[in-house]
Structure 1
């Protein structure tokens, strides 16, 4: 060691440990966590000043030097600092002091420092994810608004079931996205507790004001128990769980889009810029972007499992295994989720529905069977289960005869009803009404149905809720921004260097 950092260990880490463990971790933290480490260091300087362990001039000097720390600067100190970013920051600032500040870093641990930096980064990434999530929700809402009257088949059990509208479908997507935003906001508020001041695990000996530290860093509160602050790291599992749930939902919508874009359905198209080709089959236009999106959603679930497995069966204390290895892919989880949201937003913005194919598919199926059974019961007094048998028999007869749903066969309906002891008057009018695809949506009267007015009402609610959620996320982001600015002002630093 060129300069001793510990009296207990007297040799530098081995070249292999540096190459495979320490240096990759160092560079990851320099890229993703350095701003948060520096913000934490400044908050701690403000506390040294409050406790009158340093003076205002020393506080300003330390603040100014911390503002001058760069990724390149800490990289220069990596080899001299055991490949530890906290030690590299400390060394870089200490070497630039014209006069020593002996108390700086007294009564300190890297455990709560690292936990705090990781959590601050996660909060920022959640805010960014929410922004992308709302952009996708807006795209889904706009698409739903344009297509509230576009008829399409709805499917259950992989079979065509009822007529819905494309707007009804995409409104469902928008609603689920807002649900995920609400869940993420709840998660954000749940984890918004500052670990700083916990020390290694049992607290610290100086009278640190942990509530003040939390406020200086934009947290809602301090983590109440020191052990939980450094041992838990549950936030990583909770955050990646939310990303995994989002991925699971989006994969289901992508599965529909992939199926509907296929040549068997041909319900939708994408611009050439979002499409692919077959090198062997010139007639094909592929949509690999949808496959990519769905494939990436699998990674989101895997990242959550990775965090969970990395934490399980470990002692409840601060561990590198939990704090670093188990969180290896948290940043990748956020990156992947960002990519999924951005790609799917572009898809929805460019998606073109082939309304002729959608209408043709609606006209080919006996979607009016449900309506026919309802009318037999409500208008002709046929018991519901019997009405189901009669309506099903009519559909079966039409399928066997190769008859299109719009080609009514009133005599068949009359005969089927008569078999069960019932008389159907104006069978032709009943069938014409039941199997008129353009009457399918207007007859839906329940709240939240596929009726165009209900879809538009739901979209209006989504628009309002989306704005409220976006504002809630912005309030939380503003708290952090203001807190960090206040910390800079408290030290008299930052004004000339930012």
Structure 2
């Protein structure tokens, strides 16, 4: 049986090889389960409208359940290398022929848009799980090192004393925020396009609310044209996925710097290391380069997806639905890989607290604290205290001193040049440049103080429990919807049936 009367012939070899067959293979692998779910929901609607009896619907559902990527193949002659036609062929060749009205008043436009959105939601839920796993790994590693001093950097220069726990809790906080924003994006796009038809709606009284619920959507997309023409949902998701990729790239850059020979703050086990083919003394960490490279790919896919939609008509088109849409699938794959690699790298990272402490003690990271002490304990005006502290650091460096070598007479002399007397200058310097004290001298919420970090980690864990629970609810909604559809299609289920004498399908 022909699938079209409008075109005479079959797709050309090049057209099939370059476009149709690859598209078929992708849809068979990524979208077929969702297409089957949609077909089952359509069957329930046909049954509700009295166009098929329960036994006929169950028989067709059984044929649909047989569909696998291995079973159906692109065939230019038999199905025009179109998965929609291939599915029809498979059902039609069963022992029980489909009822005459099967696929009446149907379009591939809303069908494919719905399948893409179902796949997108599934992918987003998977990404959310990866995000939460990485965030909790960062939090767990942070909890191990609450008191160890390390240099914190601004403008690529050592600035103040922090701890690995403080730094990693920042990564955890950011990832928690990304998981929440992704949840918001998920809820925003949770609208079913099914029932929109080609663009203007459908002629039979399809119950779009019911179909949306049976597919696990929160509600139908209220406008038929938006359902098939818009891919704003793809842009919303792409943006939400690019967000943690940018974040992870920045944190990975720090790990790359700190694991270099110039710092030696972070090491990784041999299982995550690489070698140089020419320089046998080297241990490289290409896993970090892979993470950052894949994060760049995630951001690039978001940009490509937006560009691919620019300048297209506001209507259903292959350019928007398939050409542009493929970037979203690539983006998800790249981000999930980067998150998995990052979690493995972070779990295996060795933080060299001895090297971090040495770096703190070799530099004058307590300059800010010294200025505060000059003001609060010696009564020196704040701006003058900043000048005195800076002049002391410059003079100490010129003398070859480190922060661990307080020179009280030097500080007293510099303060005297500015008209101020500093009591016990050596004690003041020791307090300002003590690395362990520097970790605890901060008292504001959200600071590097170990107690503040512990409080943040505790709040983050509560946040992770909350957001993970919300994601579980979305996952369960999708699973429950699928199970309900199968139950309704069972032959014994007749509660939803409208008598065949009611072909108009009124509820």
Is contact 1:488-1:494 (8 Å) kept? Answer: no
Alignment match of 1:235 (pick from 217, 233, 236): 233
For 2:313 and 2:189, the matched residues in 1 are separated by 21
**Aligned-pair distance for 1:99?**
3.6
Q: Note if 1:111 corresponds to 2:109.
A: yes
Write the mapping of 1:34-53 to structure 2, written as runs, cut at 5 A: 34-53=32-51
Query: How far 1:57 sits from its partner (Å)?
Result: 1.3
Alpha-carbon distance between aligned partners in 1 of 2:69 and 2:251, rounded to the nearest angstrom: 41
The match for 1:337 is 335
Runs (4+) off by over 6 Å: none
Choose from 418, 421, 424 the match for 1:420: 418
Number of the residue aligned with 2:5:
7
SS at match of 1:202: coil
Provide, for residues 236-267 of structure 1, a one-character-per-residue CA deviation record: whole Å limited to 9, x for no partner.
22212222221111110010000000001011
Partner of 1:286: 284
Who is 1:94 aligned against? Answer: 92
How far off its partner does 1:382 sit? 1.0
Q: What TM-score results when the alignment is normalised by the length of structure 2?
A: 0.95
Q: Which moves more between the two structures, 190-199 or 64-73?
A: 64-73
SS in 2 for 1:5: coil
Q: Please state how far the C-alpha of 1:329 moved relative to its aligned partner.
A: 2.4
Listed as ranges, the gaps of 5+ residues in structure 2 are 494-507
Q: Is this contact kept in 2: 1:43–1:487, CA < 8 A? A: yes
Residue 488 of structure 2 is matched in structure 1 by 490
**1:192-240 CA distances to partner (integer Å, 9 max, x unpaired)?**
0000000000000000000000001000000000000000011222212
1:79 and 1:8 mapped to 2: Cα distance? 15
Task: Note if contact 2:139-2:168 (Cα within 8 Å) is conserved in structure 1.
Answer: yes
Bigger shift: 486-495 or 310-319?
A: 486-495
Residues 340-379 of structure 1 correspond to what in structure 2 (within 5 A)? 340-379=338-377
Equivalent-residue separation in structure 2 for 1:153 and 1:262 (angstroms)? 15
Name the structure 1 match of 2:174. 176
1:387–1:128 distance in 2 versus 1, CA, 3 Å: same
The reply on whether 1:403 has 2:413 as its aligned counterpart is no
What is residue 186 of structure 2 aligned with on the other side?
188
* Equivalent runs, 1:19-58 vs 2, <5 Å: 19-58=17-56
Partner of residue 150, structure 2: 152
Equivalent position of 2:479 in the other structure: 481
| Segment drifting more, 435-444 vs 95-104 | 95-104
The two structures have a TM-score, normalised by structure 1, of 0.97
Q: Helix, strand or coil for the counterpart of 1:136?
A: helix
CA distance in 1 between counterparts of 2:471 and 2:283 reads 40
1:388 to 386, 389, 407: 386
CA RMSD of aligned residues (A): 1.3
Query: C-alpha offsets along residues 145-186 of structure 1, whole Å, 9 cap, x if unaligned?
Result: 001112100000000000000000000001111111001100
User: What is the DSSP-based 3-state SS (H/G/I as helix, E as strand, rest coil) of the residue aligned with 1:101?
Assistant: coil
1:72 deviates by 2.2
The corresponding residue for 2:505 is none
SS of corresponding position for 2:72: helix
**Number of aligned residue pairs:** 493
Distance 2:492 2:432 in 1: 72
Would you say the 8 A contact 1:77–1:91 is kept in 2? no
CA–CA distance in 2 between the matches of 1:286 and 1:76? 45
Instruction: Check whether the contact 1:216–1:487 (CA below 8 A) recurs between aligned residues.
Output: yes
CA contact (8 A) 2:56 2:98 kept: no
Inter-partner Cα distance in structure 1 for 2:128 and 2:97? 45
Aligned to 2:314: 316
The answer to whether residue 139 in structure 2 is matched with residue 141 in structure 1 is: yes
**CA deviation vs aligned residue, 1:281-332 (integer Å, no higher than 9, x gap):** 1111111110111111110011111111110000000000000001122212
- In the other structure, the counterpart of 2:297 is 299
